[in-house]
Amino acid sequence: EPEVTQTPSHQVTQMGQEVILRCVPISNHLYFYWYRQILGQKVEFLVSFYNNEISEKSEIFDDQFSVERPDGSNFTLKIRSTKLEDSAMYFCASSDLGGGTEAFFGQGTRLTVV
């Protein structure tokens, strides 16, 4: 069964460093998303990506963040100059259509900023 895969599963980084979280969406999907879940809190939308550009982003997704689809399979989230409060679980998701279609989630990357 097709699935969304994320690497790494856990990343520890020093405050101020840059990290890149990687995702391989399901191959025939067209919409890609990043969500964040701070420990003990709800899952929050960060950004959606369609047709090789950002389609929507939340207030959380400021200039510190960027997304890229460098090739036909990967979808990355870059966080520049990480802060302690960036520590969270980051989920990638993809769907074949937008709107109310099912989004398939990856297993997440736990980012710890120390």
Partner 1 sequence: AQTVTQSQPEMSVQEAETVTLSCTYDTSESDYYLFWYKQPPSRQMILVIRQEAYKQQNATENRFSVNFQKAAKSFSLKISDSQLGDAAMYFCAYVENYGGSQGNLIFGKGTKLSVKP
Residue ranges in contact with partner 1 by CB under 8 A = 31, 33, 35, 41-45, 48, 50, 55-56, 58, 89, 91, 93, 95, 97-108
**Closer Cβ to partner 1, 20 or 54, answer by number:** 54
Q: Alpha carbon of 107 to those of 3, 80, 101, 110: distances in Å?
A: 10, 23, 19, 10
Contact between residue 60 and residue 69 where contact means Cβ atoms under 8 Å apart? no
- Shortest distance in whole angstroms from residue 45 CB to partner 1: 5
**Closer Cβ to partner 1, 15 or 54, answer by number:** 54
- Shortest distance in whole angstroms from residue 85 CB to partner 1: 18
- Shortest distance in whole angstroms from residue 42 CB to partner 1: 4
Vertex 42, ends 53 and 83: CA angle to 5°?
65
- Shortest distance in whole angstroms from residue 16 CB to partner 1: 27
Contacts of 76 (CB under 8 A, 6+ apart): 20, 21, 22, 23, 67, 68, 69, 70
**Closer Cβ to partner 1, 48 or 82, answer by number:** 48
Q: 29 is written with which tokens? A: 């999907």
